[in-house]
Amino acid sequence: MLTRFLLSRVPQRKVSARLQCKFFSKCAISLTEKPYYVTTPIFYPNAAPHIGHLYTLVMADIYARFQRLVNPSRPVYLLTGTDEHGLKIQKAAQVCGMQPKDFCDNISAKFRDLTTKAQISNTRFMRTTDVDHHRAVKDVWQKLDAKGLIYKGSYSGWYSVTDECFYTDSQVTQEMPPTSSAPVTRSTETGSIVEWQEETNYMFRLSSFQSSLLEHYKTPGKSGIIAPSHHQDHVIDILSNPLDDLSVSRPQSRLSWGVPVPTDPDQTVYVWFDALLVYLSGIHYPWPSSGGCGFGWPVDLQVIGKDILRFHAIYLPAMLLALDMPLPRQLLAHAHWTVEQKKMSKSLGNVVDPFQAIDDFGIDVVRYYLARVGGRFRDDVDWSRSQLNKHFKEIQSLLGNFLLRITSDRFVAATQGASPLTLDDVLRDKSSPNAPVVEAHRALADKLASSLKRKEVADAIECVVELLRQANKAISDIAPWKPSTTPNMAYATYITSAETLRVVGICLQPFIPTAASRLLDALNVPEQERTWEHARTQRQYMGIVRGSTRLF
């Protein structure tokens, strides 16, 4: 960790670059190439992690690992952690008869354990109870206060303890439960119960940044700032209507568990103002000099659930504009995992334990399933152990059995006496089933990278699956171990299959890192030759390890 932190202060690869941002007075700054910075939301530790948390972690980890392969000399930072303040945590700790910090220590440790068990390559696990995070929150508060962007006022609205936020009349609905004589008011967006509250607290002039935010999201050529695109349309709709100022504190008498307002100990900083600043504190804000580029700012990709879109697409950018800081470059708002088409909840007893899933199937299979089934992001996805088992058999057959087929003694024996051939020779034989396989594996890395750029993780996996199906079919059609197959054809099939596996192994590293590593080890691919550029470069490996190599 210390090494990464020190490296962030050293220019990596000098480039001629200028940052252009119409929202700032200092709009042109010459910079060296900054580290790639990707974040997950920091998870609320009021309960143990579920499969949805693992899903978010894996999606962010795929992009972090991919960037390390694409540009090995560029540092990549992946931030995750826990959001530990707020009324919900305070009440949950009270129910358990614990102090809030002890309560958070216990559950936060489970989230940290999940990152380890899931092989998430995060460079920092940040807790909002960390001292350096408190320092960052106070610094931001004081800067905004000095600019006159924070003021004290009375606020009233519908408050949800579950969501930790206020809602306006237009954002709530009333319903009459069948077992109650009194109506219940809920958030239209989340379904959480809300109660009317009136209090005096501090307000952030969110409305002052409405036009700048709207312009930001509507600027031609910026249609992909939020993915999938319908979420950006939704944010534009919100910003096209009057935007109220944001309540950013709570009376200390009601909420004591949080960061105290620097200028008023009788108030506690609102949890969402506090939590959103973790993306700054996680890379050591406040920085000794302006810009933060050497530390990784701005964020290159934020991976979040669709339920917290407003906070990340409106509140955080407004705070950054107020600080004269660049906005995050892209936001990926994914859908949710359900169980039998129902939202996971403790009351229904349908919460999926990610630790159990990993123990039962192995982390690579779980990661593969999450990416293959959940990598389209548009609609909620239903968790199913039968589907997980189906996809386990798919990747085991297409990849694991493929490796065993070409390392079998009878396949290797069939190549004896063959003339020396290269992959270019194979490609020139248009009548051979091997030629399309060579064409396909040479195109794989670029196709997969294009899918990831479009934020289509499932499509990226599908590229690999299609190639493996094609390569397996070629072996079955050629049947190199049959006496009727010539040694030259068997050898051509052998080197085509080996090269296919090498390219596939490199390309699967972001998705199933352990299995991909085992595959590349079996192929004797040196560690330094496992980058994305090596997947785009033709090689011809003949040193396959014979015998059984178990990938999953």
Q: How many CB atoms lie within 10 A of CB 387?
A: 14
Q: Which of 9-13, 218-222, 245-249, 525-529 is the least confident region?
A: 9-13
β-strand partners of 198 = 156
pLDDT band of residue 146 (cuts 50, 70, 90) is very high
pLDDT at 191: 80
Burial tier of 544 (Cβ tally within 10 Å: 0-12, 13-18, 19+): buried
Q: What are 436-474's pLDDT values in tens digits?
A: 999 999 999 999 999 999 999 999 999 999 999 999 999
Q: Highest-confidence range of 138-152, 171-185, 194-208, 537-551, by mean pLDDT? A: 138-152
Q: Which residue has the higher pLDDT, 539 or 283?
A: 283
String of DSSP letters for 332-353: EEE--EEETTEE--TTTT----
Domains (range + CATH), the chain: 384-536 (1.10.730.10)
Q: Which residues contact 83 (CB under 8 A, 6 or more apart)?
A: 41, 42, 43, 44, 45, 128, 271, 275, 278
Gyration radius of the chain over CA positions: 26
Quick: pLDDT tens for 420-437: 899 999 999 989 999 999
Above pLDDT 70, what percent of the chain? 92
Instruction: Reply yes or no on whether the pLDDT at 395 is more than 90.
Output: yes
Query: Are residues 305 and 313 in contact, defined by beta-carbon separation less than 8 angstroms?
Result: no
pLDDT band (50, 70, 90) for residue 349 = confident
Where does 89-230 show beta strands of DSSP type E?
124-127, 150-160, 165-167, 172-175, 184-187, 195-204, 226-227
Of 35, 10, 74, 4, give the one whose Cα is nearest residue 329. 35
One DSSP character per residue, 376-422 reads T-SS-EEE-HHHHHHHHHHHIIIIIHHHHHHTSHHHHHHTTTPPP--
* pLDDT for the residue 1: 35
Sign of the four-CA dihedral 192, 105, 305, 391: negative
Q: How confident is the model at residue 547 (pLDDT cuts 50, 70, 90)?
A: low
| Cα dihedral sign, 197-255-303-512 | negative
- Give the integer Cα–Cα distance in Å for 95 and 271: 20
Tokens of 331: 């936001």
At residue 162 the predicted structure's pLDDT band, cuts being 50, 70 and 90, is: confident
Indicate if the pLDDT at residue 4 is higher than 60. no
CA distance 505 to 422: 20
Average pLDDT across the chain, whole number: 89
